[in-house]
Amino acid sequence: MVFQTFEDQRAARDSWGDGGSFWDEPELNRNVPRGDIVVESPDNPSGWQGSGPAIATDDRPPAEATSGNRLFTVLLFFAGLATSLALWLFETEAGAVSDTPALMMAVGRLTGLAGGYVLFIQLLMMSRVSFLEEWVGARDLLRWHRWLGTSLVLLVGAHVVFIVYGYALTAGTGVVDQGWTMITTFPDMIKATIATGLLVFISLISIRTLRNKLNYELWHLIHLTGYLVLLLGYGHQVVMGANLSGRFADVFWPGLGALVIAALVWGRIVEPLWLNTRHRFEVAEVVAEGANTFSIYIDGRNLDRLPAQAGQFMRWRFFTRNGWWQSHPFSLSAAPNPQWLRLTVTAVGGHTSLLGQMHPGTKIWAEGPFGTFTAQRRTRRRALLIAGGSGIAPIRALLEDMPPDTIVIYRASRPDELVFREELEDLAERRDAWVRYIVGSRTDPGPRRLFTSEGLLGLVPDVNRRDVYLCGPPGLVGTAVQTLRELDVPDSQMHLDPFEF
């Protein structure tokens, strides 16, 4: 069988005439150009030149949104946190906290219990088990993961300070001397100290400024040492944790631990093993798309049974001589179909550059799919897709699933950086959509105008009645979100594509 890329299949489709195609041919605006490089034009009422006509559509009520029950998840989290703290209350006699040392010890134990609970929840969110993303959503998981990471460091730090201070007051010694005595004489305290150091180090390298200076593979490897924090601290929790045993604690903590371990085994081992056994992915072809950009076509068995949607991403490990040990997240750049999957990669480092040299037949190990950056998450009947840089990959795939009158805004520095231009305009013609390219440096009038309230309204007058999908560099996404909020676009209508863990 000869492998057919997107271009091959499109040529074959066009030769079929009306007998068959991937998309239905719309009747509206048949001869209207669907893609324009738009520039600022003060003489035009919209502020833009070449923005094109708009399609008159009804404004019926939005379709029902499919979203995770975030409120229930938050309530469940705080219920678990309250239960972990209540264990201290059940095991503490009335009047036990009667002086300053006892108060310090009590606060230390409470922060320790809360820190232990948050650590379990952090590991649960890192498990990559599919039902969590479907229920909560990748964007909220990432946001909660960051917030809980900061909270965990603060809780563990407070636990150490209050416990050491409480013991020092009781023994009548200095805080530093008491801390050293505890580390060198208390059971499993050396392991606990190493775990605390690892936790602080992981938090520091997760700060965006520091993270951007680290190689991705190194950062990811260090981040995975979060599992060691639990293993090293487990002995300390069991031996020294006065509130980790008892009538209620003997059920709560083992149950929580069993849940987390089961999720980790399922998400990290069982699901990937089943996925790769069933589909047996391999490289079919590598096709150049433009300057430093190429597409990887992936073949496999039973691709029609792959539970992936346009806009989602997967973690890919290519079994090449120099890259088999690295796993990277790449979005699908075309909607899944029974013939192939496609990733589009911009070479920004040594690993991604080597991917462009792969040969057909290279074996692949994949995990996923992940993310809720899909058309099924729409809450309105029309959509706006905004892409910059490599963010065009999931946006281009999403366009295949979007409703009529979708508008795509594609930001690039130069015309030769526009990837999939022909495909986007072909899709726009068949999906009754519009593509608007904003090209130039950040200081050019058009790009400067784009993410202002007046500029965005000039291109999309009904922006606050659309779902907005954003994917691109952090600066572009952050600026766009700020502008959308100024235009009263609710957060529920904004969809971001975070595939950072």
State the pLDDT at residue 41: 62
C-alpha distances out from residue 112 to 25, 153, 162, Å: 62, 11, 10
CB of 21 within 8 A of CB of 421?
no
Please give the Cα distance from 135 to 262 (Å, whole number): 18
DSSP state of 294: E
Q: What are phi and psi of 400, to 5 degrees?
A: -65, -25
According to DSSP, the residues that pair with 343 across neighbouring strands are 296, 332
User: How buried is 456 (Cβ within 10 angstroms: 0-12 exposed, 13-18 middle, 19+ buried)?
Assistant: buried
Compute the radius of gyration of the chain from its Cα atoms: 27
**Distance, CA of 416 to CA of 290 (rounded, Å):** 7
* pLDDT confidence of residue 446: 84
Taking phi first (over 0 means left), then psi (-120 to 50 degrees means alpha), and beta for anything else, what does residue 47 get? left
- Dist CA 185 CA 182 (whole Å): 5
pLDDT tens digits, the chain, 501 residues: what are they? 556 676 666 565 554 444 444 344 444 444 445 666 666 666 566 666 655 545 444 444 444 444 446 778 888 999 999 998 888 877 777 777 778 888 898 898 899 889 889 988 988 888 888 777 777 766 677 778 888 888 988 998 998 899 898 889 888 888 888 888 888 887 777 877 888 888 888 888 777 777 767 766 677 777 777 777 777 766 666 545 555 556 777 788 888 888 988 998 998 899 999 999 999 999 999 998 877 889 999 999 999 999 999 999 999 999 988 778 888 889 999 999 999 999 999 877 667 788 888 999 999 999 989 888 888 888 888 999 999 988 999 999 999 999 988 999 999 988 888 889 999 999 998 888 999 999 988 888 888 889 999 999 988 999 999 999 999 988 899 999 999 999 999 988 999 875 544
* pTM for the structure as a whole: 0.77
Q: Residue 372 burial by CB count (10 A; 0-12/13-18/19+): exposed, middle or buried?
A: buried
Q: What letter would DSSP give residue 437? A: E
- Six-digit token pair at 220? 């990811």
- Residues sharing a CB contact under 8 Å with residue 385, sequence separation 6 or more, in sequence order: 395, 398, 399, 402, 406, 407, 408, 409, 468, 469
Distance CA 206, CA 149 (A): 9
- φ, ψ for residue 348, nearest 5 deg: -125, 0
Q: Say which residue the tokens 């991917």 belong to.
A: 355
Which pLDDT score, from 0 to 100, does residue 17 have?
Answer: 44
* Residue length of the chain: 501
- Of 174, 156, 74, the C-alpha closest to 112 is 156
Neighbouring C-alpha atoms within 13 Å toward the C-beta of 382 = 23
Q: How many angstroms separate the Cα of 328 from the Cα of each of 152, 255, 277, 338?
A: 27, 33, 20, 23
Helix axes 100-125, 70-90, angle to 10 degrees: 150
SS3 469: strand
DSSP letters for 108-149: HHHHHHHHHHHHHHHHHHTS--HHHHHHT-HHHHHHHHHHHH
Q: Is 217 exposed, middle or buried (0-12, 13-18, 19+ CB in 10 A)?
A: middle
Joined together, the tokens standing for residue 166 give 């409480």
